[in-house]
Structure 1
Amino acid sequence: MREVAFIKQNKEKWLEFEQAIFGKSKKNPDELANLYIHLVNDLSYAQSYYPKSKTVTYLNHLASITYQKIYKTKREETNRIVYFFKTEAPLIVYQNRRYVLYAFILFFLFVGIGAISAANDGSFVRLIMGDYYVNMTLENIENGNPVAVYKSGSNWGSAFVITLNNLKVGLLSFASGIFAGFGTGFVLLKNCIMLGSFQYFFYEQGVFWESVRGIWIHGAMEIFAIVIEAAAGFVLGASILFPKTYSRVASLKIGFKNGLKIVLSTMPFTFAAGMLEGFVTRYSPDMPRILNIFIILFTLSLISWYFLIYPFVVNKKINKANVSTL
C-alpha cells in the first residue's frame, strides 16, 4: 500500500485517538486500550514499510504519550516523583530533542561571540560584568586566588542565594519562550556572552585553568541546566509558531506543559550546583587537582547522561513495549 493511501485510510482513526488522549473526547479504559492496540499495529506497519517517514515519527509520538497514560499507574511506578524523573521527563526530552540541539548550538555560538568580543575590545568585559566585579577579580588574581569571590558569605547563605538566582534564570528563560522563542534566545544570549567574555578575561590574565578548576565545579551542572531550560523555552515558542494539527491554543497548552516538565527535571541539578557552589567551590584552590577534575567530569557526565543519553534509552524501552503488545 502506498503511504498516501495508508494515511488516508487511517487518518480519522488517528485523529480520534488524538482527541481521546488529549482529553478532547471521553473514552473509557477499554475503548482507549482498543484504540491503542490499533495504533501500535499501525506503528508496526509504518515502521516496516515507511521506516524513514514522518508518519512513523507521528505514530511513535502518539504511542509514547499513551504509554505514559496507561503505564504510569503500574505497581512499580506508584511513586509519581520517581515516575516523572525515571520515565516521563526523559521521554519529553527525547520527543523535543531537536530543541535541545538548537539550544546547544546557540549556546556555543553565543559563548564564542562573548569570547571574541572580549578579545577584540578591552572594555567589553567591564561593559558586561561591571567595573566593580572586574576590579575585585583583578585584585583576587593579584592575591593568587582568582575565584576568591566564591569564599564570600556563609556556606548555606551562598548556596541558598545562588540556587534561588539559578532557578529564577531558568524559569525566566522558559517563560520568555512565550514570545515565540525569541525571548528565550535573548536570555540565553545574555548569559552566554557573559560566560564567554569572563572566561576569556581569565585567559587574558593567565589564570584560565585556575578559573576552570573553580568555576566549573558547580558550573558543569549549572550551565548545562540553563541550556536545557532554554530548550524548554524553545518548545514553548515552537508550540505557538508550529501548532501542527492542533489549534494554536491547544498547541500552546501542550507546549507549556511539556516545557515546564523539562524545566522541573533540571531542578535537582540546579539545587546540586548551588550546594557545590556554596560548600565546595570555595575550597577549590586548596584541594588536589585530581579531585577538581573528578568533580567537574563526574557532574558533567551525570547531567549529560540524563539529558543526552538516557532519553534515548527510555524511548527504546517504550518502543519495545509497544511492539510487545501486538
Structure 2
Amino acid sequence: MREVSFIKQNKEKWLSFEQAIFNNDFKDPDELASQYIHLINDLAYAQTYYPKSKVILYLNQLAAKAFQKIYKTKRENTNRFVEFWKTEVPLICYQYRKFIYIAFIIFVTFTFIGVISAANDGEFVRSILGDNYVNMSLENIEAGDPVAVYKSGSNWGSFIGITINNLRVGIIAFILGVFGGVGTLYIMFKNCIMLGSFQYFFYEKGVFWESVRGIWIHGSMEIFAIVIECAAGLILGASILFPGTHSRYTSFKHGAKIGVKILISTFPFTFFAGFLEGFVTRYSNIMPHFLSVGIILITLGIISYYYLIYPFKVQKEVTSLPLLKPSFA
C-alpha cells in the first residue's frame, strides 16, 4: 500500500483516538486496550514500509499518550508515587523533549550573554549582583576562600532557606509561562545573566576553579532543575499560543497538566541540591579535589540521565509492549 493511501485509510481513526485520549473520553478500559493495539499495529506497519515518514513520529507520540492512559486505568498493587517518576514523567519528557532541548539552548545562550557582557563592561557585574555582594566576594577572595558565602548561617537554616527560594523560582518560572512563555523567558534571562557574569567575575579574579568546586557541587542539580522547570513554562506558553486542532482552553488545560507534572518531578532534585548547599558546599575548600569533582559529576550525571536519556529507554519499552495485550482487572 502506498503511504498516501495508508494515511488516508487510517487518518480518521487516528484523529478520533487522539481526541478521545486528549479529552479523557474512554470509559471502557478494554476498548482503550483494543484501540491501543490497533494503533501499535499501524505504527509497526509504518516503521516497516515507510521508515522515513513523519507519520511514524506522530503515531509514536500518540502511542505514548495512550500508554499513559492505560497505565492510569490499571488497577494494580503498585506504588503510584514511585510509578509517577518511574514511568509517567519520563514518557512526558520524551514527548516534549524538544521543549527541554530548547530550554537548554536558551540557557546556554543567555548565560553566554552574561559572560560576554561582564567581559566587556567592568561595571556590569556590580550592576547585576550589587555592590555589597561584589565587595563581600572580593574580601573572601583576598582571604583565600572565594565561596565563603556558602558557609554563613547554620546547616539546617541554609538548607531550608535555599530550598524554599529555589522552589519559588521554579514555580514562578512555570506560572509565568501563562503569558505565552514570555514570563518564563524573562526568568531564564535574569538568572542566566546573573550566572554568566558571576562565573566570569571569579574567572577574572583568577579563582575560577575554586568557584566551580564550590558552586557546582549543588549547582549541577539546582540549575539543571530550573532549566527543566522553565521547559515546563514554555510548554504552558505553547499550549496557549499553538492549540492545534483543540480549543485554546482545552489545549491550555492539557498544557498546564503536563507542565505541573514536569514541575513536580524536579522537586526531589531541588531538595537534594538544597541539602548539598546547606551541608556539603561549605566544606568544598577543604575536601579533596577528586571528591568535589566526583560529587559534581555524579549529581549532574543522575539528573541528566533522568531527563535526557531515561525517557528514551522508557519509550522504547512502551513501543515494545503492544504485542502483549494489556491486562485490566
Greater Cα shift, 149-158 or 77-86: 77-86
- What TM-score do you get using the length of structure 1 for normalisation? 0.95
Distance 1:77 1:310 in 2: 24
Q: Which residue of 1 aligns with 2:233?
A: 233
1:248 paired with 2:248, answer yes
Q: Which residue of 2 aligns with 1:257?
A: 257
Q: Deviations over 1:9-60 (max 9, x none)?
A: 2222223212322335343222222222221222222222222323222222
The amino acid of 1:242's aligned partner reads F
Distance 2:149 2:191 in 1: 19
Q: Given that residues 72 and 83 in structure 1 are in contact (C-alpha distance below 8 angstroms), is that contact kept between their aligned partners in structure 2? A: no
Q: Which residue of 2 aligns with 1:154?
A: 154
Q: Which residue of 1 aligns with 2:28?
A: 28
Q: Which residue of 1 aligns with 2:272?
A: 272
Q: Given that residues 36 and 322 in structure 2 are in contact (C-alpha distance below 8 angstroms), is that contact kept between their aligned partners in structure 1? A: no
Q: Which residue of 2 aligns with 1:318?
A: 318
Distance 2:187 2:22 in 1: 31
The root-mean-square deviation of aligned C-alpha atoms, in Å, is: 1.7
Q: Which residue of 2 aligns with 1:199?
A: 199
The amino acid of 1:265's aligned partner reads S
Q: Given that residues 111 and 196 in structure 1 are in contact (C-alpha distance below 8 angstroms), is that contact kept between their aligned partners in structure 2? A: yes
Gaps (5+ residues) in structure 1?
A: none
Q: Which residue of 1 aligns with 2:218?
A: 218
Q: How far is 1:119 from its partner?
A: 0.5
Matches within 5 A, 1:1-326: 1-23=1-23, 25-72=25-72, 78-325=78-325
Q: Given that residues 225 and 269 in structure 1 are in contact (C-alpha distance below 8 angstroms), is that contact kept between their aligned partners in structure 2? A: yes
Gaps (5+ residues) in structure 2?
A: none
* Aligned-partner SS, 2:209: helix
Q: How far is 1:174 from its partner?
A: 1.1
Q: Given that residues 103 and 231 in structure 1 are in contact (C-alpha distance below 8 angstroms), is that contact kept between their aligned partners in structure 2? A: yes
The amino acid of 2:242's aligned partner reads F
Q: CA separation of 1:17/1:231 partners in 2, compared to 1, >3 Å: closer, same or farther?
A: same
Q: Given that residues 44 and 323 in structure 1 are in contact (C-alpha distance below 8 angstroms), is that contact kept between their aligned partners in structure 2? A: no
Distance 2:90 2:181 in 1: 22
Greater Cα shift, 12-21 or 256-265: 12-21
Distance 2:51 2:197 in 1: 45
Q: How far is 1:229 from its partner?
A: 0.9
* Aligned-partner SS, 2:266: helix
Q: Deviations over 1:237-272 (max 9, x none)?
A: 111222222222111111111111111111111000
Moved over 4 A (4+): 72-77, 323-326
Distance 2:76 2:309 in 1: 23
Greater Cα shift, 76-85 or 140-149: 76-85
The amino acid of 2:202's aligned partner reads F
Q: How far is 1:72 from its partner?
A: 4.2
Q: Given that residues 37 and 323 in structure 2 are in contact (C-alpha distance below 8 angstroms), is that contact kept between their aligned partners in structure 1? A: no
* Aligned-partner SS, 1:246: coil
Q: CA separation of 1:290/1:25 partners in 2, compared to 1, >3 Å: closer, same or farther?
A: closer
* Aligned-partner SS, 1:92: helix
Q: Deviations over 1:183-205 (max 9, x none)?
A: 11111111001000000000111
Q: How far is 1:73 from its partner?
A: 5.8
Q: Given that residues 119 and 200 in structure 2 are in contact (C-alpha distance below 8 angstroms), is that contact kept between their aligned partners in structure 1? A: yes
Q: CA separation of 1:76/1:287 partners in 2, compared to 1, >3 Å: closer, same or farther?
A: farther
The amino acid of 1:55's aligned partner reads V
- What TM-score do you get using the length of structure 2 for normalisation? 0.95
Greater Cα shift, 158-167 or 64-73: 64-73
Distance 1:44 1:247 in 2: 31
Distance 2:39 2:287 in 1: 57
Distance 2:154 2:234 in 1: 36
Q: How far is 1:322 from its partner?
A: 2.5
The amino acid of 1:190's aligned partner reads K
Q: Given that residues 219 and 273 in structure 1 are in contact (C-alpha distance below 8 angstroms), is that contact kept between their aligned partners in structure 2? A: yes
Distance 1:216 1:324 in 2: 45
Q: Given that residues 239 and 251 in structure 2 are in contact (C-alpha distance below 8 angstroms), is that contact kept between their aligned partners in structure 1? A: yes
Greater Cα shift, 128-137 or 231-240: 231-240
Q: How far is 1:76 from its partner?
A: 6.7
Distance 1:226 1:257 in 2: 18
Q: Given that residues 107 and 188 in structure 1 are in contact (C-alpha distance below 8 angstroms), is that contact kept between their aligned partners in structure 2? A: yes
